[in-house]
């Protein structure tokens, strides 16, 4: 039986552990490394891992697949520290939310006896920690793989199938540069907007008595892991600043229409936004239809 080691049992690592146990029971022997012994004990008690250690190198030495689910700034340190501990022929999977900078750092350091696959699961929760990990966040979720020149096609194919078996819906192959720009727009900017919106409450009123679904939905992700998101954004500064500037221009257009009492301009902006939203929904529906036909 092949062995999988998960490094970091937070939301992503914990969700991988739960997905492997719930969706592929008995296919892999799953172990974990985490700095929190209580987390490891809980994961083992619940049957999601067979073994858990805070520093034990033998877990890495026996693992056929290693899933690294750490903060970006910890990934390189972990690989450098343990580059002699990876099993020959092992597949190492890195899952952080930025790709270009981490690939530039890691590619020269990757041991020749292993293969690294860089990628990003587009799934997660506002809360943090193993207790909030849930394999259901992977269901129909997107996963972006950013291959390097060192990757074998067979390895990408194998890992893509594993992701589908765990519930992921769409597997996208992307360059690191494209990934970082798109994530700056679809993920990092949206978190900034949510934070800015809820922090801009200067009414001095009891806001909770006046909110509806729109405010709840827009600010849901304002409750975020401040250390992780600060790290992700600062490591992706240039793409993020680019999309912030684009957003500021759009907001300025709306503000100008209101300042000048330009009802027609405001309506055109809303017509455009409706069209783009409908196109997005149509693309999602087409993907779901194609997926169902392919079953």
Each residue of 32-78: pLDDT tens digit? Answer: 999 999 999 999 999 999 999 998 789 999 999 999 999 999 999 99
Indicate whether 209 and 88 sit together in one domain: no
What total number of domains does the chain contain? 2
Helix 237-259 / helix 263-293 crossing angle, nearest 10 deg: 140
Indicate whether 196 and 123 sit together in one domain: no
- Cβ pair 174, 153 in contact under 8 A: no
pLDDT at 8: 95
pLDDT at 149: 94
Indicate whether 155 and 35 sit together in one domain: yes
CATH code of residue 33? 3.40.50.720
pLDDT at 295: 46
Indicate whether 161 and 217 sit together in one domain: no
How many Å apart are CA 60 and CA 65, to the nearest integer?
A: 9
Question: How far is the CA of 204 from the CAs of 55, 200, 207, 208, in angstroms?
Answer: 50, 11, 8, 12
Indicate whether 254 and 118 sit together in one domain: no
| 129-153: average pLDDT | 92
Each residue of 85-123: pLDDT tens digit? Answer: 999 999 999 999 999 999 999 999 998 899 999 999 998
Does residue 278 lie in a domain region?
Answer: no
The DSSP element (H or E) to which 66 belongs, if any, is strand 65-68
- Cβ pair 191, 224 in contact under 8 A: yes
Q: Which among 22, 65, 11, 62 is positioned nearest to 46, based on CA atoms?
A: 22
Each residue of 198-225: pLDDT tens digit? Answer: 999 876 667 888 889 999 999 999 999 8
Indicate whether 154 and 20 sit together in one domain: yes
- Cβ pair 93, 67 in contact under 8 A: yes
Indicate whether 150 and 15 sit together in one domain: yes
- Per cent of the chain over pLDDT 70 is 94
- Domain residues for the domain of 255 are 178-261
Does residue 88 lie in a domain region?
Answer: yes
CATH code of residue 244? 1.10.3660.10
SS3 52: strand
* pTM for the structure as a whole: 0.88
**Strand-strand pairing, 115-122 and 142-145:** antiparallel
pLDDT band of 288, cuts 50, 70, 90: low
């Amino acid at each position: 039986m092949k062995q999988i080691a998960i490094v970091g049992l937070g939301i992503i690592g914990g969700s991988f552990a739960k997905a492997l146990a719930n969706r592929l029971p008995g296919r892999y022997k799953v172990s974990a490394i985490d700095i929190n012994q209580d987390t490891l004990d809980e994961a083992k008690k619940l049957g999601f891992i067979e073994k858990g250690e805070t520093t034990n190198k033998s877990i890495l030495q026996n693992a056929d697949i290693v899933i690294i689910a750490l903060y970006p700034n910890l990934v390189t340190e972990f690989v450098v520290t343990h580059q002699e501990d990876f099993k020959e022929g092992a597949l190492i999977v890195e899952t952080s939310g930025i790709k270009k900078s981490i690939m530039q750092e890691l590619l020269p350091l990757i041991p020749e006896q292993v293969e690294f696959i860089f990628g990003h699961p587009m799934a997660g929760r506002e809360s943090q920690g193993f207790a909030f990990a849930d394999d259901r966040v992977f269901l129909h979720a997107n996963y972006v793989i950013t291959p390097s020149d060192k990757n074998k096609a067979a390895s990408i194919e194998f890992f893509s199938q594993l992701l589908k078996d765990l519930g992921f819906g769409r597997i996208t192959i992307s360059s690191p540069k494209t990934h970082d720009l798109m994530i700056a727009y679809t993920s990092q900017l949206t978190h900034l907007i949510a934070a800015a919106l809820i922090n801009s409450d200067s009414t001095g009123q009891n806001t909770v008595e006046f909110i509806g679904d729109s405010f709840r939905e827009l600010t849901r992700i304002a409750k975020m892991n401040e250390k992780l998101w600060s790290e992700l954004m600062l490591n992706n500064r240039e793409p993020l600043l680019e999309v912030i500037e684009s957003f500021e221009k759009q907001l300025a257009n709306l503000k100008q229409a209101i300042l000048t009492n330009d009802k027609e301009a405001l309506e055109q902006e809303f017509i455009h936004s409706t069209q783009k939203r409908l196109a997005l929904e149509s693309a999602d529906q087409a993907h779901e239809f194609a997926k169902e036909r392919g079953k």
